[in-house]
Amino acid sequence: MPLDMDTRAQLVDTVRRFVSERLRPLEAQVAEQDAVPEEILEEMKGLGLYGLSIPAEYGGLDLSMEDECLVAIELGRTSPAFRSAFGTNVGIGSQGLVMFGTEEQKAKYLPGIASGEIVTSFALTEPEAGSDSANVQLRAERQGDVYVLNGAKRFITNANRAHLFTVMARTDPSKPGAGGVSAFLVERNSPGLSVGRPEKKMGQQGAHICDVIFEDVKVPVENRLGEEGQGFRVAMQVLDRGRLHISAVCVGVSERLIADCVAYASERKQFGQPIAQFQLVQGMIADSKTESMAAKALTLETARKRDAGESVTMEAAAAKYFASEMVGRVADRAVQIFGGSGYVADHGIERFYRDVRIFRIYEGTSQIQQVVIARETLKRGG
């Protein structure tokens, strides 16, 4: 539910100060050590960040989509690894349970998710099922009152810290594509479940992705989300919301980079004057600001539509597509404005340049967003 304007302002201000005072000073340390300090994770729990989207009756803040996006924008003003620490609890790791879970499932897991005691993860991607997300091959075979899961998931965010996985698995091999896929809640301590070592990545050090292996993992029937064959529907509805959250983070990162560019260009002198006085530099700043404002407007407008109960599959895809591509261009211009200083590590610009590249890939590549946008536009007749 939406917050009243005063409460919203207080929350956004609190998060803004937390980002400025606690997170930004640690950006280089997190990148070098590839880990977010435990004391920061505890402070995030204390602020309620793990439960932003969890219903209030289970201990969460129960933010509207618009309110969540405003908070995500503030969190985007620092290294994305910080947000990723709890991002799966807010988005893809919990929302299948929120949207499709039974009352018993919600009562069992959501309070722990809201407090951060339970870290969640979303296990959809496989070696042969990335953009082709309906091609899930991990097998879930019903045997009495349990399903037995066998297979592997790849590039799963927060898998090494997760206590609970939302897993997409094929329950009916006779049905190719989406119709044979179901969703399950799988606990980390389930016998036969193992997690690989974190992958070495191009960017976002401190945020980890791992393989998850299932070898005769027994999952109780009561841990299935929805009915058999509804897994793809669960995944797609979860991703609609997740794409808006990522769009807002991209806006926040772009605003951070623009502010850094303005500060640097106002101080850095060439040819006897600040480079901010040169029109070609001003052009890069103007392009970045305009695109950032457009992404913000699209993201918040779509969030309000979702809060009003409208279907936003196309709009969420458009927001994610535009915002993730936009922040890549802004980061590229930031390196150009900083010049040699942007290419070395001192200012952190090259780190953001690497960090934002993944936004165009996860939760649906830009090309998948184009497919969704075109499909929905054709369906609506324009």
Residues annotated as catalytic are 363
Structure tokens at 269: 């002198």
Structure tokens at 366: 């830009």
Structure tokens at 175: 């049905």
- For the chain, helix, strand, coil in percent to 5 are 55, 15, 25
Separation of alpha carbons 170 and 214, rounded Å: 13
DSSP characters over 130-157: SSSTT----EEEEETTEEEEEEEEEEEE
251's CB contacts (< 8 A; 6+ apart) are 73, 76, 292, 295, 296, 299, 323, 327
231-267 and 65-75 are packed helices; what angle lies between their axes, rounded to 10 degrees?
40
Separation of alpha carbons 2 and 24, rounded Å: 28
Geometric angle at alpha carbon 33, from 28 and 37, rounded to 5°: 85
Geometric angle at alpha carbon 113, from 108 and 115, rounded to 5°: 115
Strand partners, 139: 150, 170
Largest CA distance in the chain: 79
Structure tokens at 12: 């956004």
161's CB contacts (< 8 A; 6+ apart) are 119, 208
Gap between the terminal Cα atoms of the chain: 31
301's CB contacts (< 8 A; 6+ apart) are 315
Separation of alpha carbons 11 and 52, rounded Å: 11
Q: Which among 112, 230, 216 is positioned nearest to 175, based on CA atoms?
A: 230
Q: Which among 1, 151, 134 is positioned nearest to 66, based on CA atoms?
A: 1
